[in-house]
Amino acid sequence: MGLIDLMAKIADYIPTVEKPKAKPGLYERLLWTAIALIVYVIMANTPLYGISVTGGGQQILLVQIIFASRRGTLMELGIGPIVTAGLIMQILVGAKMINLDMSNPDDRRRFTAAQKTFALILAAFEAAMYVSACRYWTPTGPNPFFQCSATIYQRIGVGLQLFIATYIVILLDEMIQKGWGIGSGVSLFILTGVAQRILWNLISPITISGEAVGFIPYAIQVLSTGGNINSIIIRSGGRDLVGLIVTFVIIFLLVYLEGMKVEIPVTSPRLRSIKTKVPLKFLYVTNIPVLLVGILYSDILVFASLTRLYLQNIVPDWVANMLATYDANGRLTGGLAYYLSPPGSLARTLYDPMQAVIYAVSVLFLATLFGIMWVEISGLSASAQAEELIKSGMEIPGIRRNPKILERILSRYIFPLTVLSSLIVALIAVTADLMGAYGTGTGILLAVGIVQQYYTMIAYERTLEAYPLLKRLVGE
């Protein structure tokens, strides 16, 4: 029995959500989706029981966005273990290090089950590292593992809370994906986190050092007290007018680009008079490359934070400083984690242009690399598309029905689209981060894509309910 089979077998003994015997109606599915969302929001606002501080140091905004996490709450880990497990498994399958055929239902079931087990293993590991590092309490000595103000029972209790909360998130995601809800729980929770972050940046009345956090309260504060109006346009310590304008511009730009398509004419050898076109989205890779870069960066930032908290007396100083350096307030000031973090505002970009350049170049390079890799492992490559055309009985006019020839023709469209779309989405995300867009560039990309997916799915479901005959035609 291989490792994948073993992990899949373990998943069989883990309580799961069963598929509905009959497909629920649209409004019932929307209700279950809303229930899952409410449960997530409650957990994201429920502090961990038994902690004395809200967490060690500054939590990176990128980590909060990508992992839908919230410091010091049951959602401290968020969806991190789920997306990290999925990313690693997808890469291993795409690189043929795991021999699974994702078009085979049995192999797909084994993959999903093994991924669930792997996510729970990662959740247990992260929870153990957090409590071992005395993250939520005050260290009483240089070694937080042995010298911590919390008792062993407190640390075990908090670790169990983190693990159980992650397991509940996995169940919520399963409930939605197995047909009780609409879409996926992971996407829903990311969208919720981005929406909350944008609203917080816009209207939060909380003040820090006498300045309102939200842009609108801050603008009112400045105008009512006769302060410097220029600080409303470009603000060093919070969101400003430039970021708000950039947010709206990027949202409209993404909606426009999502509607652009490149069409390839095809026909049927049996019905020559019937011609059609295969539409390829201009943003062929959608937001996947930026999401993968965000997951990678988030994992690096989390590891750097844990190294500072837990391994600072184990790893050499030069290794710890290479990963991250912090000031007295726990804010990043250098190291790999600093240069991989988005500036977050135009003022910070102007303050340290070198960090902005390194961040931008690394995101553009890795997004292009991940875009090419994703197309190859997800069945979107020219060879996979050529095989699909042959199987469907379609062909490109004037071209022999040979998969290799079709692959060469399609690669003229698909490879440039892959590289170009990867660069475009990465450039949009980088521009948003450098200009201080609300919710971060990655967050806006994910949110717009998720909203469009939900719009398409809901429109599809409403159409099927309005025209029952279509259900029989599509096999539902």
Q: Could you read off the pLDDT of 192-226 as tens digits, one per residue? A: 888 888 888 888 888 877 788 888 888 888 888 88
The predicted model scores a pTM of 0.80
Query: Residue 255 — very low, low, confident or very high, per pLDDT cuts 50/70/90?
Result: confident
State residue 308's pLDDT score.
63
> Across the chain, what does the average pLDDT equal?
80
More confident residue, 52 or 241: 241
For the cut 80, the answer to whether the pLDDT of residue 123 exceeds it is: yes
State residue 397's pLDDT score.
58
Domains of the chain: 1-15+26-203 (1.10.3370.10), 206-233 (no CATH), 238-475 (1.10.3370.10)
For the cut 90, the answer to whether the pLDDT of residue 465 exceeds it is: no
For the cut 60, the answer to whether the pLDDT of residue 154 exceeds it is: yes
State residue 277's pLDDT score.
64
Q: Which two tokens stand for residue 59?
A: 């939590």
% of residues, the chain, pLDDT over 70 = 80
Of 152-156, 219-223, 466-470, the range with the lowest mean pLDDT is 466-470
Of 243-247, 324-328, 335-339, the range with the lowest mean pLDDT is 324-328
For the cut 50, the answer to whether the pLDDT of residue 271 exceeds it is: no
Q: Could you read off the pLDDT of 337-376 as tens digits, one per residue? A: 788 888 878 888 888 899 899 999 999 999 998 888 878 7
% of residues, the chain, pLDDT over 90 = 13
